[in-house]
Amino acid sequence: MTKKKSFLEFVSDTRFIHILLSIILGFLVGAIFLVIMGISVGGAYGRLLSSVTGVKGFSYVVVYAIPYIVVGLSVAFSFKTGVFNIGAEGQFVVGSMAAAVVGILGGALPKPLLIPLCFLAAMAAGAIWGIIVGFLKTRWGINEVLSMIMFNWIAFYLSNFIAGIPAIHSDGTAEATKNVSANASTLLSKDFINSMGLCPTANWGILVAIAMTILVWFIIEKTTLGYELKAVGYNKFAAEYGGIHVNRSILTALAISGALAGLGGALQLMGMGGRISVFSSQEGFGFAGIVVALIGCSNPFGVLIAGIFYGALMYGGSKLNLVGAPTQLVNVIVGTVVFFIAISVIFENLKRIQRRAPKTQAPANTEKEADKT
Amino acid sequence: MTSFINNLGIILYATLIYTTPLLYAALGSCFSEVSGVVNIGIEGMMTAGAFTGTVIAYFTGSPWIGFLCGGLAGAFFGMLHAIATVNLGADQTIAGTAINMLGPGIVIMIAKVMFNSTDTIPLEASMKIPRLFRGVFDTSTVFGRFMDNVFANYASTYLVFIAVLIVWFVFYKTRFGLRLRACGEHPQACETLGINVIKMRFLCVCISGFLAGLGGACVTMAISTQFRPISIVGQGFIAIAAVIFGKFRPQGALLGCLLFGFCSGLKVVLGGSSGINMQLISMIPYVVTVIVLILFVGKSRVPSANGKPYVKAK
């Protein structure tokens, strides 16, 4: 096996290159749309690039990326364990609301106590939301995709309902909750932000996101729990035969995945939003998490990078209208990237067919030889 | 009694309004899922249909050309999904997610360029899908008002119920339907019998997009009068849920959509009269769906080959 790979083989073998190619194709398709619409490609992409570079621009990107990374980890974790957590949206929402309630009502508590409390409340809420779905699945066999879609909306209206409770609701006219206490905020100090030239919402949530990335990697790759969850994901029946409690594994996987999505909600609230508005439609963080997990190939570190990439596109995209290009261009780019990532499996399929072709003659003989001896 | 009949009429009217787009999309989802291709891109296909339908109706002045083009726009995205998943063996969830980003992304971008706004210009009454049996019933009587609420409905609503019958017939009474279902259960066996699995699935995913597109179009061309980015918010996913609820059968999907539509109708009446918090009332359809699942429906058997890319044996 010392044979050197040809360039084509290298390209078709490396997942990273597939993704890089997909990203290039995504921008190419975006450029085609820009040309059709008669908007300068250089102008639009130049604006996109200049918005996300520099200390201030990149700090915005990182702030945007925090919830995407953590929700992406949640979805990636669920993929690894064989469930498709389309319910991250709902878990994000309940997590965010739980953190808001704790952050508002417990406002008098000191910072080192209140912040962990908010995180814990959010993770617990997200985990419960995941466990309910898991329980419906393991107890009554109810399809998890179906119940997750339902629970996303239940979470959405529950959050709107809680936002309207007098103790939580804003004192002013805004259709939103009160702001969480300053003690529950993860914002960096004003002086630090000013001296570094960061964006006004710069916060240390990214450190939590990085810590979670390492933790998820550790759980999946280095622990018995991760091994069991993966085994159930690969083949439920084989895992059960191997002595793993399948139902318990599904519940654990959904609880961890839900806790991560809930934490994403808390980080977004405590770093950026400060309060929760009454929404008329879902915000789509769960959906963004699915996209980030897919671009990151469900690998925790891949998700970290994909989250930053997604954050950059979303923040850069919001500045596109300054040069007359529609903001939705970034959605088209990301959609195209995901589309090409989806079809990049063609390389693997091609290889399988290529490999199969000579096999039909050679191994047949060797097996006969083996039989003789 | 009078108010009860009035309310019942309003509930049924709202039920039909909510059910129609869901049912189109759910029938589409049936085609795709039963042939063995997971299609979570329904939402994106609906959005594409909603926008295209409205714009074409606006420029041609004909609701029916618009409605048809809405379906075709959905079918176009269905075709993209089919090329990726059926021909190239892509992961169906990933490709569907891509469609959900591309569909809305592209149409809202076009809307921005065409109308300099993310909303389209509202349709005039003549460009909307017409309501049938308008003025047939005497609305001055209680009974007449009830009949008017229930039967003087959009043509698209009548069409979708006919479509359910047709899809049911195609699925269970024709050779095409038998082959379609077989493709989702055991594609290898189909291939040995000379059925072209790739072609069957390709066609089914395109049909699925077409129906989803029609569903989207009736949101913007019947219920409302213009396309807005929030026209389609989650209906596609609810339709998928209805199909799982209905155990991947068109008649089951009908029940799922009607249940959901009825609860949404209930919401309209309760929200107006009862004084219970609106946000809690809005939860009813979702909570009821889960409860009904637990009590009456239980496990939904997914077609065996659903979600698995089919690679033709060499």
Specify the pLDDT at position A153.
92
Please state, in angstroms and rounded to a whole number, the distance separating the CA atoms of residues B41 and B21: 15
Asked if the Cβ–Cβ distance from A328 to B280 is below 8 Å, we say no
Task: Give me the number of domains chain A comprises.
Answer: 1
Task: Give per-residue pLDDT as tens, A30-68.
Answer: 999 999 988 899 999 999 999 999 889 999 999 999 999
Please state which of the ranges A9-18, A271-280, A363-372, B178-187 shows the lowest mean pLDDT: A363-372
Q: Is residue B305 part of a domain?
A: no
Walk along chain B (314 residues) in steps of 10 and give the mean pLDDT of each run.
83 91 96 93 95 94 94 96 91 90 92 87 86 80 83 90 95 93 90 90 96 95 88 89 90 93 85 75 87 77 80 65
Please state, in angstroms and rounded to a whole number, the distance separating the CA atoms of residues B77 and A242: 43
Q: Is residue A229 part of a domain?
A: yes
Range of the domain at A272: 40-324
| A203 φ, ψ (degrees, to nearest 5) | -145, 165
Q: How close is the nearest chain B Cα to the Cα of A194, in Å?
A: 36
Specify the pLDDT at position A372.
41
Q: How close is the nearest chain B Cα to the Cα of A57, in Å?
A: 24
Mutate to test the interface with B, among A153, A159, A160 (most CBs of B within 10 A): A153
- Find the closest chain B residue to A353 by CA distance: B314
Q: Is residue A335 part of a domain?
A: no
User: Minimal CA–CA distance to A59: which of A182, A205, A179?
Assistant: A205
| A277 φ, ψ (degrees, to nearest 5) | -90, 160
Q: Is residue A302 part of a domain?
A: yes
Give the one of B94, B277, B290 whose C-beta lies nearest to A338's C-beta: B94
B38 touches B98 (CB < 8 A):
no
Asked if the Cβ–Cβ distance from B293 to A140 is below 8 Å, we say yes
Comparing A348 with B32, the larger pLDDT belongs to: B32
Task: Give per-residue pLDDT as tens, A203-213.
Answer: 999 999 999 99
Q: For residue A1, is pLDDT > 90? A: no
Give the one of A142, A164, A334 whose C-beta lies nearest to B101's C-beta: A334
Task: Give per-residue pLDDT as tens, A93-142.
Answer: 999 999 999 999 988 899 889 999 999 999 999 999 999 999 998 888 88
Task: Give me the number of domains chain B comprises.
Answer: 1
Q: Is residue A4 part of a domain?
A: no
Specify the pLDDT at position A360.
43
Specify the pLDDT at position A145.
85
Q: For residue A75, is pLDDT > 70? A: yes
Specify the pLDDT at position B69.
96
Contacts of B93 in chain A (CB under 8 A): 84
Specify the pLDDT at position A352.
64
B112 touches B228 (CB < 8 A):
no
Burial of B170 (0-12, 13-18, 19+ CB in 10 A): middle
Specify the pLDDT at position A4.
64
CB within 8 Å of A48: residues ≥ 6 apart: A313, A316, A317, A319, A320, A330
Q: How close is the nearest chain A Cα to the Cα of B100, in Å?
A: 8
Q: Is residue B308 part of a domain?
A: no
Q: Is residue A358 part of a domain?
A: no
Specify the pLDDT at position A367.
42
* CATH code for the domain of B12: 1.10.3470
Comparing A306 with B299, the larger pLDDT belongs to: A306
- Find the closest chain A residue to B256 by CA distance: A146
- Find the closest chain B residue to A350 by CA distance: B88
| A91 φ, ψ (degrees, to nearest 5) | -65, -40
Specify the pLDDT at position A68.
96
* CATH code for the domain of A262: 1.10.3470
Range of the domain at B201: 2-297
Q: Is residue A2 part of a domain?
A: no
Tokens of A257: 């995945």
Please state which of the ranges A222-226, A349-353, B82-86, B140-144 shows the lowest mean pLDDT: A349-353
Please state, in angstroms and rounded to a whole number, the distance separating the CA atoms of residues A365 and A350: 25
Q: For residue A299, is pLDDT > 50? A: yes
Give the one of B89, B104, B293 whose C-beta lies nearest to A345's C-beta: B89
Q: Is residue A114 part of a domain?
A: yes
- Find the closest chain A residue to B293 by CA distance: A142
Specify the pLDDT at position A217.
95
Task: Give per-residue pLDDT as tens, A162-216.
Answer: 988 888 888 877 788 888 888 888 888 888 888 888 888 889 999 999 999 999 9
